Chain A
Amino acid sequence: MTIQFNKETFRDDYSFRNSDWAIKRFPFPFHEDSYMYSVNMEQHRGGPEGSVYEKRFDVDEHYVSEMQDRALVLADDPLRCQSLPHMTLAGWDTLELIMVSKSEDYPDLFELHRDGDRWRWINKPMGIDHTFTFMDETTLPCGPLEYITRQAQGDFAVLDQRNDMLYMDAGMVTTQADWSLDFDIGMDFFEWHAPVPLAHEMGIFKRALKFLLNIQQGAPARRLNWTMTVNPLLDTSPENYHKWGVQKTTLTPENIGAKQHLRVELQTFYRLPRSNALLFPIRCYLIAFQDIVSIPKWGRRLHRVVRDLPEELADYKGFIDNRPMMLDYLSQFDDGLPTSPGVWPDLDTEPPLTK
């Protein structure tokens, strides 16, 4: 299909909107009526047609606007993209993986023509037609990681693997759920996860690390994570907390359906072939509460998940103060009927709201 790219903003007037198409394909993260951590990994080898799981790097109607927002963030704060000196090869790996994947998965939008090390890259939505020499940084306007991730939705953490450990040694991070690449750069896997509650005690990170160290070339994996964001803000960074944190106090019973967003990360994991580093793309999808509840199953389930979530998690995810107001709103869309298992909207089989 040809994608109609939205003209929209993720700041100031917040004109971001999801079309009906985007709502139905939203990666709803709850496969049952409750939530607890799990490593919840599966292979990333496609998924149902049209779903966000189908392609290696999903491109949707928000692509062009998200890339404009990233450029604004970088203009204010260049440290959102960093690469330690030994990570340049991993940057080329990332560039190669994204260019090859996008040109194969979206041939009407992206083209890659390779003649030995002479590569021509055409990005039609962004109006880019660039010929460069693979592995020669002087032929790009910036480093390879920055170059390609200015053209790819979602954040990218590039993890060096040494001594049975992963290190946050490069990345492009402008659409993050309140963490900072500049703070985490160089940290190991346990250090950068230190603030997460409960999961350490549950042994989640030890198991997750073991899994990630064993991710193999040609066999990428994926999982979902989620949090809550008031207003469709991509850049909820610690650096800018003074700008967006206060917006959490602007929720009212009247505006909550439009302002409160569920924020879902589709996290994928790729072993990079030339550097043996691990690429960790974190793709952010936002959806307003009023759009979620337009899917009856999701409305019922979201109410139950938010209601029953342990305090520590509601606190860590930053919505404990607003939880009562959220529940007042969401309870209108929960009639107590059972929900079908799995994440899909099941619009044809789930009953409409009966209250």
Chain B
Amino acid sequence: MSAAPQKAKAGAEKIDVTVSAVVKLNPLVTRFEFTRTDGKDFPPFSAGAHTVVEMNDDGRTRLNPYSLMSDPADTSTYAISVRRDDEGRGGSLFMHENVKVGDRMTLSYPVNLFPLDLRARKHVFLAGGIGITPFMAMIAHLERISAPWELHYACRSKDLGSYVDELTGKYPSKAHVYFDDQDQKIALEDLLDGQPLGTHVYVCGPKGMINWVHATAAAHGWPDENVHSEEFLAPQPGKPFEVRLCKSDITIQVGEDESLLEAIERCGVDAPFLCRGGACGQCETDVVEADGTFDHRDHWLDDDEHASGQKIMPCVSRFVGKTLVLDR
């Protein structure tokens, strides 16, 4: 149309923040709290939303998504909990080792890919490990509106159970915790059996747990739309490869430890993104030409699209072969 056409920016809107607290919960997980650097309130967010944290790691920009786990009604602060991943690409290690109270950072506006279904008669949360974080915000929200919920939370051990004491202390009849090292397991089949009609199940945790919940629920006749999951993928390292970006008219190299999206950004090409974890679909890119094999790792494209070789999600997927030309 129309008025003053404005180019869409890559990523969500951003907020300058100051780290207001760093709380070590256990050897693996640390909570980071933020206030706005301009002193204003944060925008409200919906439970289940994440933010993309921008880290300046010695000149290299790292962008990692983390679930917002603070009370959505409290607009004075945002909080995330970060599990350190010693095998990962370094974002979580940077957070653990370098980020201190008073540091300035940049967060994206909240983006929700894991919302509550507000029609639900009851919400059942299944958390594995660090997957507890979005449920912290969801529980705070549901408590405020007095909606029924229950939580089943599996963690490795008492020592590594983030927020276990807080949850069982505040909600002894609703929060149920299972410790792997004590051979405690979520009795999923019984749990699904006993739920009233209109219950929605939400799972956040490792891939195996998510698949287990979906498969078990389906086998028990649960409709797909009543079972919700969120899994952020971290881009995995792989062999370096070369890509031609035909719109930008440049050829770039993707390094072993960077994602295709990161390499595109490093070369100064603006590419859209939101979640950087293969879930939101924003960075979907058309393949113009390919001679080689795709390593599709996203949750966005379906199997047919993966097989077609005509699309790639550069935030997590890679390529092995001779030639790759993208419409970017």
Chain A residues near B (Cβ < 8 Å): 27, 29, 31, 40, 42-43, 45-48, 51, 53, 84-87, 89, 96, 160-163, 210, 214, 216-219, 222-224, 273-276, 343
Q: A31-B2, A47-B4, A214-B281 are in contact. Are A276 and B13 (CB under 8 A)?
A: no
Contact of B45 among A86, A96, A273 (CB under 8 A): A273
Chain B residue contacts of A43, Cβ below 8 A = 6, 8
How far is the CB of B268 from the nearest CB of chain A, in Å?
22
Chain B residue contacts of A53, Cβ below 8 A = 2-4
> Chain B 219-250 against A: per-residue CB contact (8 Å), 1 yes, 0 no?
00000110000000000000000000000000
Is the pair B118, A275 in contact by a Cβ cutoff of 8 Å? yes
Contact of B1 among A48, A96, A224 (CB under 8 A): A224
Residue in A27, A89, A216, A274 whose Cβ sees the most chain B Cβ within 10 Å: A216
Complex: chain B residue closest to A160, CB-CB: B118
A-B contact pairs, 27 of them (CB 8 A): A29-B2, A31-B1, A40-B1, A40-B2, A43-B6, A46-B4, A47-B3, A51-B3, A53-B2, A53-B3, A86-B118, A162-B115, A163-B224, A216-B12, A216-B111, A216-B274, A217-B111, A219-B8, A224-B1, A224-B2, A273-B44, A273-B110, A274-B44, A274-B45, A276-B49, A276-B115, A343-B2
Query: Is B172 an interface residue when CB atoms closer than 8 A count as contact?
Result: no
Task: Give complex CA distance A224, B5 in Å.
Answer: 13
Task: Give complex CA distance A29, B2 in Å.
Answer: 7
Interface of B is mostly: loop
Chain B residue contacts of A42, Cβ below 8 A = 1-3, 5-6
Chain A residue contacts of B118, Cβ below 8 A = 86-87, 89, 160, 275
Chain B residues near A (Cβ < 8 Å): 1-6, 8-9, 12-13, 43-46, 48-49, 72, 109-112, 115, 117-119, 145, 224-225, 274, 280-282
Contact of B225 among A46, A85, A162 (CB under 8 A): A162
Chain B residue contacts of A31, Cβ below 8 A = 1-2
How far is the CB of B68 from the nearest CB of chain A, in Å?
11
Is the pair A210, B46 in contact by a Cβ cutoff of 8 Å? no
Report how many A-B pairs have Cβ atoms within 8 Å. Answer: 90
Contact of A219 among B1, B13, B44, B119 (CB under 8 A): B13
Chain B residue contacts of A86, Cβ below 8 A = 118-119
Task: Give complex CA distance A86, B225 in Å.
Answer: 16
Is the pair A162, B5 in contact by a Cβ cutoff of 8 Å? no
Is the pair B6, A217 in contact by a Cβ cutoff of 8 Å? no
Task: Give complex CA distance A170, B80 in Å.
Answer: 33
How far is the CB of B133 from the nearest CB of chain A, in Å?
17
Task: Give complex CA distance A277, B186 in Å.
Answer: 32
Is the pair A45, B45 in contact by a Cβ cutoff of 8 Å? no
Is the pair A219, B12 in contact by a Cβ cutoff of 8 Å? yes
How far is the CB of A96 from the nearest CB of chain B, in Å?
8
Chain A residue contacts of B9, Cβ below 8 A = 219
Closest 3 CB pairs of A and B: A218-B13, A86-B118, A276-B46
